[in-house]
Amino acid sequence: MIRFEDVTKSFGKREILRGVNLEIEKGKTTVIFGVSGGGKSTIIKHMVGLLKPDSGVITVEGIRVDNADENTLREIRKKVGFLFQHGALFDSMNIRDNVAFPMMEHQKLTSKELEYKIDEKLTMVGLESKIVKSLYPEELSGGMRKRVGLARTLALEPEVILYDEPTSGLDPVTSDFITQMICRLRDEMGMTSVLISHDIAESFKAGDNYAMLFDGIIVEAGDKEAFQNSPNEVVQQFIHARSNGPIAFH
Ligand SMILES: Nc1ncnc2c1ncn2[C@@H]1O[C@H](COP(=O)(O)OP(=O)(O)O)[C@@H](O)[C@H]1O
Ligand SMILES: [Mg+2]
């Protein structure tokens, strides 16, 4: 579904991605592990063209993202939804308008269809649509804002969802809900998901495939069993979260 071939990216003199090779399988959840500041968000921003690589090729269903024009990027962003690390709701818009926004931008719906879809998406993420629609983001808890963010991501009915640390800073109930949601979307709709998470237990509940980013490259990738049994020391240290090793993890 998504493929990276020898992708490099520097910010200033710092080379963050040094030749990333990665394949995201359709209909599966792929977890990307890595240290804080290692370049995980940088990788998923490349998947929707929010960043351009210095070299290498990135494709979504065979379509080049790395050198895509604005029209192609628009099409890719309809297909690939992004749940940002920090909510990213519009504070000046109520919840209805936040969820409506991408649909108004990208789709031609009658007002009846639009209202139906707003209710449908808010209900999908476990919110009482009638109650929350008229509220503003600041009136909601962090967990509810995250659910609204997910409803907004679901609004365009994407084929892929990129989750950037979707549960960090959330209460356990909402974290668990998000994890279950990732699984339900896969099982019921065949959704492809990419998940970045610091919560290793949660990631092993949600994921099918795993990739370990370390020092700018993917040092290991495979399904859950292969990954958990990897002889790679970086992988073993990360999944067993030993803090006394030579590699500092957060
Ligand atoms: N737009 C940017 N400009 C400059 N530096 C950036 C930019 N985006 C990320 N970085 C730097 O690249 C490194 C990797 O960042 P990031 O991909 O966010 O890591 P992770 O998501 O794994 O924590 C960090 O050191 C970060 O400061
Ligand atoms: Mg990040």
The DSSP-derived string for 137-164 is: GGGS-HHHHHHHHHHHHHTT--SEEEEE
Q: Average of pLDDT values for 100-121?
A: 94
User: Which of 14, 42, 51 best tests ligand 1's pocket when mutated (most atoms within 8 Å of CB)?
Assistant: 42
Measured CA distances, 198 to 40, 68, 132, 202, 246 (Å): 11, 31, 29, 9, 19
pLDDT tens digits for 113-150?
A: 999 999 999 999 999 999 999 999 999 988 899 999 99
Q: Identify whether the C-beta of residue 87 lies closer than 8 Å to the C-beta of residue 137.
A: yes
Taking the model in full, what pTM does it have? 0.91
53 lines ligand 1 (CB under 6 A): no
Considering every ligand atom shown, identify the ligand nearest to the alpha carbon of residue 250 and give its number.
1
Sheet containing strand 192-196, edge to edge, reads 80-83, 160-164, 192-196, 29-34, 209-214, 217-223
- Give the ligand 1 atom nearest the CA of 39: 17
pLDDT at 250 over 50: no
pLDDT value of position 171: 86
pLDDT tens digits for 27-44?
A: 999 999 999 999 999 999
pLDDT at 212 over 90: yes
pLDDT tens digits for 144-203?
A: 999 999 999 999 999 999 999 998 888 888 889 999 999 999 999 999 999 998 888 889
Domains of the chain, residue spans = 2-239
Considering every ligand atom shown, identify the ligand nearest to the alpha carbon of residue 164 and give its number.
2
pLDDT value of position 170: 86
- Give the ligand 1 atom nearest the CA of 164: 21
Considering every ligand atom shown, identify the ligand nearest to the alpha carbon of residue 10 and give its number.
1
36 lines ligand 1 (CB under 6 A): yes
Q: Average of pLDDT values for 71-97?
A: 90
Element (H, E) at 127: none
- Give the ligand 1 atom nearest the CA of 85: 21
Query: For 2-239, CATH number?
Result: 3.40.50.300
Question: Token pair of 186, please?
Answer: 């896969």
Q: Whose CA is nearest to atom 24 of ligand 1?
A: 37
Question: Token pair of 41, please?
Answer: 């968000």
